[in-house]
Structure formats: C-alpha cells, structure tokens
Amino acid sequence: MPLLEISGLTQRFGGIQALSNFSFQMEEHELVGLIGPNGAGKTTVFNIVSGFYASTEGEIVFDGRRINGLKPHRVTAMGMARTFQNIRLWNDMTVLDNIRLARYSWLGYGFLDAVLRTARHGRAEHAVETRAREALEMMDLSECAEELPKNLPYGLQRRVELARALTGNPKLLLLDEPAAGLNSADVEDLIRHIRWIYDEFGISIWMIEHQMKVVMSLCQRLTVINFGSILAEGTPEYIRQHPEVIDAYLGDEKI
C-alpha cells in the first residue's frame, strides 16, 4: 500500500485552474522531488495535502486514511510534517520552545494539569524537553537553544524549521523549497542534513525545489508540473533529458 496516494486532484481559485487532474503516488521510504516553473501549482499541491485548502475535486489517501477536508493539525497528528518556502518560525520564543511546541499533539495533558502542575504535567514536560534537546542535538543546534530564531542567520533558521518538523516524528516530510535563500555552503549543509534524516529515520520526503543541484543529488524520482498538470515523471536522469521539460523549465542550461 502506498504511503500517499493522490488521485485526480483539481483545484480552482475563482476562474483560475491552479491544478488539474494531478495524480501521484509515494511509497514508504522514498525521496521524491516536485519541480516546475513558478506558478505551476507546486505549493498548491502541498497546501492541499497538508490540509490548508480543501481541493475542488480529487482524493488524497495518507497512511491508509482519506484526509480530504481534514484540518492541518489533524493531518499533522497523523504523521505528516512540512516546512515553508518563507520560513515560519515563532520568532518571539526561544529555539527550544519552538521545537517543544512540535510535540503539542502528543502532550496528553490539559489546562488544569498545567495550572495545578500535576504529576502528569511534570512527566509530559520532561518527555517533551528530552525530545526537544535530542532534536537540537541531532541537527547541530544545541548551542542556539536559548536564542530567538529571528537573531539567527538564515541557514540556521532553515535548520531549526527542519528540526521542528522532525520532532513530531513524521512518516512523511514535505519540504517547500528548503534551499531557497541559502548560500552555497549552506546548501551543501542542507543536502547533507536531508540525506542524513532520510537514512536515519527511514521516513519519506517529498520536496519542492528550484535548485537543480539539490534535487538531482537527493531525489530518486521527480515529478514535473506545468500549468497545474503533470508534464513528466521519472528518474532525475530521465527528467534531465526530457525535451518538454527542457523546453518548459530547465532550458538549455547545462546541469
């Protein structure tokens, strides 16, 4: 059974057809890329899958359950995490708190426990703290645990967002342009980290990315979309030589 199965996804915003009949499958432990020119509908796909938009038509099955129309926090609780093209961290709380909050769905205590500081609250907070410290450790972020994200360099902010997404123990990680705005040294770091996450956690990763270097060196399979529908699908080798893809997206640039 595939981990994620999308069939016939169609999305209209008023008169604009943002996606038409988009179908896609993803197995467990796969690293797949989604590429295409600006405005092709890549982020729309992610927004629908993670629950921000309800699709006009089509069906999404994740981990054996239909998730159409579920709220984002419910989808997250089922084991899907994502990062954003423009970093979305909580800038007025420490990096550690940012990571802690990723365990929100699994806290297991409520208002009264928090106010009365019950044993259940103590246990849960302890577990959350341990998990968060581990996640920071893994992503080489321990030094900035007490910093505010807005004071960190851009590359580190990206990494904090990645660490936060991982702390929820996802089965599927959606990365929306993780390399956007990074310098080449940071990109190298990012590739290393993503590969390590993929190997270490055995999860599936689906990424949107414009930097061909990232996509070509990481992904086993690529989907290219243009004007909201699939243009080509296949291995990076195949995509690289696909005449229509070169025409619509890659251009003559040597990659």
- For the chain, helix, strand, coil in percent to 5 are 45, 25, 35
Residue 205 binding other proteins, by CB under 8 A: no
Select from 31-39, 110-118, 192-200, 236-244 the region that touches other proteins (CB under 8 A): 110-118
Q: Closer to other proteins at the Cβ: 165 or 218?
A: 165
CA angle, residues 187, 225, 44, in degrees to nearest 5: 80
Cα–Cα distance, 217 to 240 (Å, whole number): 12
Q: Among 36, 41, 168, 178, which residue sits at the site for other proteins (rule: CB under 8 A)?
A: 168
Tell me which stretch binds other proteins (CB under 8 A): 21-29, 59-67, 106-114, 133-141: 106-114
User: Is residue 97 a contact partner of residue 90, using CB atoms and an 8 Å limit?
Assistant: yes
C-alpha dist (Å) from residue 32 to 1, 8, 49, 132: 17, 19, 15, 27
What's the CA gap between 207 and 186, in Å, rounded?
17
Q: Which residue, 101 or 212, has its beta carbon nearer to other proteins?
A: 101
Only one of the segments 90-98, 182-190, 201-209, 227-235 lies at the binding site for other proteins (rule: CB under 8 A); that segment is 90-98
Span interacting with other proteins, options 7-15, 72-80, 193-201, 205-213, rule CB under 8 A: 72-80
Is residue 88 a contact residue for other proteins (CB under 8 A)?
yes
Q: With the C-alpha atoms ordered 177, 34, 22, 65, is the resulting torsion angle positive or negative?
A: negative
Strands (E) in 14-154, as ranges, are: 16-26, 31-35, 57-62, 65-66, 80-82
* Binding pattern for the stretch 6-45 against other proteins, x by CB under 8 A and - elsewhere: ----------------------------------------
DSSP per-residue codes, 149-188: GGGS-HHHHHHHHHHHHHHT--SEEEEESTTTT--HHHHH
Q: Which is nearer to other proteins, 92 or 252 (CB)?
A: 92
Of 13, 104, 154, 196, the one binding other proteins (CB under 8 A) is 104
User: Considering the rule CB under 8 A, would residue 52 count as an interface residue with other proteins?
Assistant: yes
Tell me how far, at minimum, the Cβ of 154 lies from other proteins, in Å.
17
> Toward other proteins, which CB reaches closer, 205 or 222?
205
Contacts of 163 (CB under 8 A, 6+ apart): 99, 135, 136, 138, 139, 141
Do residues 58 and 9 lie in contact, with contact meaning Cβ atoms separated by under 8 Å?
A: yes
- Least distance (Å) between residue 4 CB and other proteins: 17
User: Would you tell me which residues interact with other proteins (CB under 8 A)?
Assistant: 50, 52, 71-73, 76-77, 81-82, 84, 88-93, 97, 100-105, 107, 109-111, 113-115, 117, 121, 124-125, 128, 164, 168
